[in-house]
Amino acid sequence: MRSSEAVPYPHLAWRLYSVWYRHMRVYTKNLVSNGLPPFLEPLLFLAGVGLGLGRYITESMDGMSYLTFLGTGLLVTTAMFTASFECTYATFIRLEFDKVYDGMLAAPITVNNLIVGEILWAGTKGLFFSFAVLCILTPFGIVHIPHALPAPLVGFLTGVMFASMSLLVTSFVKTINHFNFYMTGFLSPMFFFAGVVFPVSNLPRPVQFVAEIVPLTHSVRLVRAVCVSRYDLGLLADMVYILVFVAIVGALAVRRLRRRLVS
Amino acid sequence: MFLELGGDGGDPMAVISVSHISKTFEGVCAVCDLSFAVEAGSCFGLLGPNGAGKTTMMKTIYGAAARDKKCSGTIEVFGFDPARDELSIKYLSGVVPQENNLDEELNVVQNLLVYAKFYGLPARVARERIEALLSFLELSEKVKARIRELSGGMKRRLVIARALLNNPRLLILDEPTTGLDPQVRHLIWEKLRQLRAGGTTILLTTHYMEEAFQICDRVLIMDKGRRVMEDQPQRLMEQNIERYVLEVPQEQAAVIDSRELPEAVRVDHALGISRFYCDDLDRLKVVTDMLDGHPYYLRQANLEDVFLKATGRGLNEKQ
């Protein structure tokens, strides 16, 4: 039996939105427990650094006070961590334990829609977490609006970038404990050696070279430039890096996860 | 919608046409050269033990599994090939997967509202339809209930409601009533019969013979990825098994001398039970007289007897 007319299934943008919407609804269901920590975390961090560590660090870093230096870095590391958790542990649970994807893929969406929607959602979480940090930094005069206002957009890009990479990692992982290697072996070192806590410019050459390869460095550079409105052409290279990274790693993640979702 | 005759072969009345499909997992054939057709408005059952390839076959129909690339077979669902047009097929179909994968964080109505988004249903339409579906599946009182407060039967009915959100013309169910109590099973069967009466085509997998007998117009018994037999349930029984069965514990059956058995009585010993099959009830009564008052169970043969005869009583490595 044949259908004479084309089937009116939703178009691509709607299909991505419906995946994003599902994640958003589930996340906002526990608004207090999910929505409050992003604000508390930077507060604690700044209290520790501002009241304690900060007074020992009087030298300016990259032409800014240490609180501003570190605070602006937090705008993107928070996006990195939330997107990475979302697309490793949480994705794995949806994939293997709750079988959420099996249910979603019975609806008119493709595996590609599912994964790209997931990446966009992780980017949104990055944006929100970045925004939360901005909300804390601004009243303390650590960054200034309006020029720091686009910072959460860098948080979005960072979220998208780490979501792509984390999904690629997830596509290889057989048991959930393997993510520990990714977290302590890759994300934590990046936190220290990508120019968040101290500038990379004074590190040995080989370390500097590695820092240029890892993704976080480029997010940090972008977000600092945005926060102090210090734009230069070098930032274009960072933008290109991020876009190319997302395109390549994201495509690989989609390809590999498809094999896992479609038997 | 119109009927197009003489397409690429196959039954023009069929909603699903599967022709010579194979699916291999790491060298093991999960589905081997299987062909069948599901007529519009009918209920078709795939029967088989665990590991027979039922779920794999079902998943290839809506694109959740890919058939072997090298197999030259074809699948058409509403005229669409799932390898190319999965979205069209999924838009016209509702799927009840084997596991209840509901969103535990959301309540009943939120689960359905989120899912309605995938079909692009406007909020007002979605709400009306959800209300009607919850009432149809007798879940109206559970609108705001959390998923973990629901019993297994309620969760199953909710997943069925979810599959019906877009008024599907084809409903695909993977073991719809496994693990549920008799009341819920009968309720679900009744709802499926109502849907079929309303014109919905149904494809289901099951290993409950009773389920197949109750609701399927046609069943395909498969084992190790292959078709064993296919027909209407009643005809399968008439043509493949005697009408009556006498079951006796094997140690008690030992008193019966097989040489003294009436004619046309077939015996089968397996897993501690001896079964005597015959079309003539009186001849089996003769056998019961030979039991010296030991307990026995004399009954009509059912589809399960056909099934066990067809697929064997031993377990395969996946059971």
Q: Cβ separation of B3 and A98 shorter than 8 Å?
A: no
| Contact criterion met (CB < 8 Å) for B80 and A263 | no
| Bridge pairing between strands B14-25 and B74-77 | antiparallel
Residue pLDDT, tens place only, A70-91: 999 999 999 999 999 999 999 9
pLDDT band at A2 (very low <50, low <70, confident <90, very high): low
pLDDT category at A256 given cuts 50, 70, 90 is very high
**What CATH architecture is B241-311?**
2-Layer Sandwich (3.30)
Identify all chain A residues contacting B80, using CB atoms and an 8 Å cutoff.
3, 7
What is the pTM for the complete model shown? 0.89
Mean pLDDT of A114-143: 95
Domain hosting residue A184, numbered range = 12-38+70-261
B 128-167 → A contacts, CB under 8 A: 159, 162-163
pLDDT tens digits, one per residue of B199-221 = 999 999 998 888 888 899 999 99
Return the amino acid letter for A42. Answer: P
The residue ranking higher by pLDDT, A123 or B28, is A123
What pLDDT, on a 0 to 100 scale, did the predictor assign at position B7?
41
CA angle B183, B188, B190 (to 5 degrees): 95
Q: Does the distance separating the beta carbons of A104 and B1 come in below 8 Å?
A: no
Question: Do the Cβ atoms of B45 and B192 come closer than 8 Å?
Answer: no
Neighbour-count burial for A103-135, b at 16+ CB within 10 Å, e otherwise: bbbbbbbbbbbbbbbbbbbbbbbbbbbbbbbbe
Residues A193-203 have a mean pLDDT of 87
Q: What number is the average pLDDT over the span B242-261?
A: 83
pLDDT, residue B213, reads 85
CB distance B130 to B53 below 8 Å: no
Whether residue A46 is contained in a domain is answered as: no
Distance in angstroms (rounded) separating the CA atoms of residues B296 and B246: 7
A26 touches chain B (CB under 8 A): yes
The nearest CA of chain B is from the CA of A105 a distance in Å of 7
With respect to residue A31, please indicate whether it lies within any of the assigned structural domains. yes
Query: Which chain A residues are within 8 Å of B15, Cβ to Cβ?
Result: 1
CB within 8 Å of chain A, chain B residues 288-317: none
Alpha-carbon gap: A155 to the closest alpha carbon of chain B (Å): 26
Give ipTM to 2 decimals: 0.90
- Inside any domain, residue A43: no
List residues bridging with B17 in a β-sheet: B37, B76
CATH number of B14-237: 3.40.50.261, 3.40.50.460, 3.40.50.300, 3.60.21.70? 3.40.50.300
CA distance A107 to chain B (A): 6
Q: How confident is the model at residue A122 (pLDDT cuts 50, 70, 90)?
A: very high
CA pseudo-torsion sign B222, B74, B3, B64: positive
Domain count along chain A? 1
A238 in a domain, yes or no? yes
Beta strands in chain B (DSSP E): 14-25, 28-39, 43-47, 74-77, 93-96, 170-174, 201-206, 218-223, 226-231, 244-249, 266-270, 273-278, 297-300
Q: So what's the pLDDT on residue B199?
A: 94
Confidence of residue A200 (pLDDT cuts 50, 70, 90): confident
* Shortest Cα distance, chain A CAs vs residue B279, angstroms: 41
Q: Does the beta-carbon distance from A25 to B64 stay under 8 Å?
A: no
Q: Residue A57 domain-assigned?
A: no
Q: Which has the minimum average pLDDT: A127-131, B137-141, B179-183? A: B179-183
Domain contains A1: no
Asked if the bond preceding A42 is cis, omega within 30° of 0, the reply is no
**Long-range CB contacts (within 8 A, 24+) of A241-245:** A241/A215, A242/A157, A242/A161, A242/A215, A242/A218, A245/A161, A245/A164, A245/A165, A245/A215
pLDDT digits (tens, 9 = 90+) for B20-75: 999 998 888 899 999 999 999 999 999 988 888 999 999 999 999 988 888 889 99
- Structure token digits, residue B261: 């058995």
- Report strand pairing: B43-47 vs B218-223: parallel
Rounded to whole angstroms, the Cα distance separating B208 from B206 reads 5
The stretch B117-132 carries a mean pLDDT of 96
CA distance B128 to B114: 14
Indicate the residue of A3, A25, A263 with minimum beta-carbon distance to B110: A25
What span, in angstroms and rounded, lies between the C-alpha atoms of A19 and A16?
5
Is A165 among the domain residues? yes
Domain ranges of chain B: 14-237, 241-311
Rg (CA), chain B: 22
Q: Is residue A245 situated within a structural domain?
A: yes
Whether residue B262 is predicted with pLDDT greater than 50 in this model: the reply is yes
